[in-house]
Each structure stands twice: as structure tokens, then as C-alpha cells.
Amino acid sequence: MRLKEEQIARLAEKVLGDLERAQLVEQKQGRGAVLAGIKAAIAEDLKLEEALERDAEALLEQTLKAVGGQGIDRHKILRMIKEKLAKERKIVL
């Protein structure tokens, strides 16, 4: 999933706001430092997901070449490959 920097910032604000309202977070540093950490975590997760997507596409192409690609549901196979890679890499989609 592609998110712009401002979308990541809004998502981080929402997450922190929800955690603060539920009193599930105690800030030992300033709010800005906490937000920066949340933004970094979201950005890193998105990078991992994009890498997984690229790897799944490459495996799909290899698979389609190997079997001829005739009569195969490309989207279904891609989803299966992504799920397998995500499980191996311990990534939650």
C-alpha cells in the first residue's frame, strides 16, 4: 500500500490520539518524539509490505513461466504467494 507522508502523519496522529484517550500510553518523552516513533514504525511496515509485494510478483512470474500460465487465475495465485511469504516473514497483512 502506498501512503504519502501526510497520510502517514495523520495515521500516526490518529493512533496516538486513540491510545491517549484510552489511557493506554504513558509518554516519557514529548508527544513529538512519540509521534516520530509511530510514523517510523508505519513507514517501515509499509516498506516491508512493498518488498513482499515485489517478491510475490517475481515469484508469480517465475511460476507462470514454468507452467505456461494458461488457465491460471493470476490474482488467486498472487494472493496465495503473498500469504505464504507474509507467514514466512512474520508480516501481518
Mean pLDDT in residue range 62-76:
84
Q: What angle do CA 62, 92, 78 make, to 5 degrees?
A: 25
How high does pLDDT run on average in the chain?
Answer: 91
pLDDT band at 1 (very low <50, low <70, confident <90, very high): low
CB environment 25-59: b (16+ within 10 A), e (fewer): eeeeeeeeebeeebbeebeeeeeebeebeeebeeb
* Whole-number pLDDT of residue 26: 86
For residues 2-28, give the mean pLDDT: 93
**8 falls in which pLDDT band (50, 70, 90)?**
very high
pTM equals 0.77
Structural domains of the chain, count: 1
Burial class (CB in 10 A: 0-12, 13-18, 19+), 19: middle
Q: Which structural domain, as residue segments, surrounds residue 47?
A: 5-89
pLDDT band at 21 (very low <50, low <70, confident <90, very high): very high
First to last CA, the chain: 10
